[in-house]
Amino acid sequence: MLRLVSKRILGAVSRDLPPPAVLPRFYHERVVDHYNNPRNVGSFDKNDPTVGTGLVGAPACGDVMKLQIKVDEKTGKIVDARFKTFGCGSAIASSSVATEWVKGKQMEEVLSIKNTEIAKHLSLPPVKLHCSMLAEDAIKAAVKDYEAKRAKSTASQEETSGEKAATA
């Protein structure tokens, strides 16, 4: 009788226990995966007019993220993305995820990517939430940089065409 009861209790307990692979207070397997096989590591030429670069964070805080997007000028679609990150495993994973998510999307669309989505995807613990915030900031900074570059180039184009008209 006792054995039966204890068996049942033990069985119930062991069924309730979470599998050892997903211990809550450590890296989620997606973080480990992105850390071991980061997607889209590298750099584009930051002077390329079709490239937007976002550099956020600070070395003193232990996180620096550089995220670059390559944009199709006609359609405004992000055709490719690259990142380089100095930071913990969660920061590397967050930026890796960010580059994956922005690829193939319209620029306006990626601005709506929220840090909470990245954090949820990677199951980041509260102490690591700033990593996902940094990734969101990096995306925004990259888009802003691209738009600033574009505005500048169209302005200079207009200027040159204006000059041409004046001389003619």
Stretch touching another protein by CB under 8 A, among 6-14, 24-32, 110-118, 144-152:
24-32
CB 90 within 8 A of CB 27: yes
How far does Cα 53 stand from its chain's mean position? 13
Stretch touching another protein by CB under 8 A, among 4-12, 64-72, 105-113, 156-164:
64-72
Does the active-site annotation cover 61?
Answer: yes
Separation of alpha carbons 128 and 149, rounded Å: 32
Stretch touching another protein by CB under 8 A, among 9-17, 31-39, 150-158, 159-167:
31-39
Q: Write out the DSSP string of 97-109.
A: HHHHHHTTSBHHH
Does the protein bind another protein through residue 158 (CB under 8 A)?
A: no
| Cβ distance to another protein smaller for residue 70 or 130 | 130
Does the active-site annotation cover 88?
Answer: no
Separation of alpha carbons 50 and 106, rounded Å: 14
CB 66 within 8 A of CB 53: yes
Q: In this chain, which of 34, 52, 66, 102 binds another protein, going by CB under 8 A?
A: 66
Q: Which residues of 74-107 are buried (b: 16+ CB within 10 A; e: fewer)?
A: eeeebebbbbbbebbbbbbbbbbbbbebbbebeb
- For the segment 73-112, give every residue that binds another protein (CB under 8 A): 84-89, 91-92
- For the segment 122-141, give every residue that binds another protein (CB under 8 A): 127, 130, 133-134
Place of tokens 């001389």: 167
Does the protein bind another protein through residue 27 (CB under 8 A)?
A: yes
- Name the residues that contact another protein, by CB under 8 A: 20-23, 25-29, 31-32, 35-38, 41, 43, 55-66, 84-89, 91-92, 127, 130, 133-134
The residues assigned a catalytic role are 61, 131
